[in-house]
């Protein structure tokens, strides 16, 4: 019985840790993208490498949770992870992945559709402003 509760608690910590990693990855990518657009600002290769490593860990952990779809009944968690991935991919200018994550988001009811619409609106604004590479 203790092992059962330990496994649940461990899963909850992993989900919470992944939420936090995704939030930080999105925030750090937004700051990086803003910095890149400023004149005279230099971003070292080391800073970029650290950012890439952290973002890749966040993506891997979110994907690992999403891979449990069908095994677990965590619709809210899965919806949030798809939204996090869509937001990360938006900041990375990986537009096909943004759209794929938004397609998955739309299968999560009204809240999922609203989340997808929000991300897709940001994508549209980014494309109209010529911010995507």
Task: Give the CA distances from residue 100 to residues 28, 88, 118, in Å, rounded to whole numbers and listed in that order.
Answer: 23, 13, 14
Q: How many CA atoms lie within 13 A of 79 on its CB side?
A: 15
Does 108 fall in a domain?
A: yes
The whole-angstrom separation of Cα 89 and Cα 98 is 5
- Res 36 pLDDT > 90: no
User: pTM of the full predicted structure?
Assistant: 0.86
Q: Residue 133: pLDDT band by 50, 70, 90 thresholds?
A: low
Supply φ then ψ for residue 106, to 5 degrees: -65, -15
Domain of residue 10 covers 2-128
pLDDT band at 93 (very low <50, low <70, confident <90, very high): very high
Bridge partners of residue 69, in order along the sequence: 72
Is residue 82 one of the residues assigned to a domain?
Answer: yes
Count of structural domains within the chain: 1
Q: Which is higher by pLDDT, 12 or 90?
A: 90
133 inside domain: no
> Which of 64, 55, 52, 59 minimizes the C-alpha distance to 14?
64
Q: Is residue 100 part of a domain?
A: yes
Quote the pLDDT of residue 3. 53
């Amino acid at each position: 019985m203790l092992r059962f509760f330990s496994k649940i608690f461990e899963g909850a910590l992993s989900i919470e840790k992944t939420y936090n990693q995704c939030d930080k990855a999105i925030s750090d990518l937004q700051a990086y993208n803003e910095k890149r657009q400023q004149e005279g600002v230099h971003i070292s290769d080391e800073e970029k490498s650290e950012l890439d490593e952290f973002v890749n860990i966040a993506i891997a952990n979110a994907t690992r949770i999403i891979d449990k779809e069908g095994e677990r009944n965590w619709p809210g968690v899965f919806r949030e992870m798809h939204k996090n991935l869509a937001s990360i991919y938006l900041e990375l200018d990986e537009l096909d992945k943004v759209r794929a994550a938004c397609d998955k988001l739309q299968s999560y009811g009204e809240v999922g559709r609203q989340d997808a619409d929000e991300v897709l609106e940001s994508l549209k604004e980014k494309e109209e402003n010529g911010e995507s590479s």
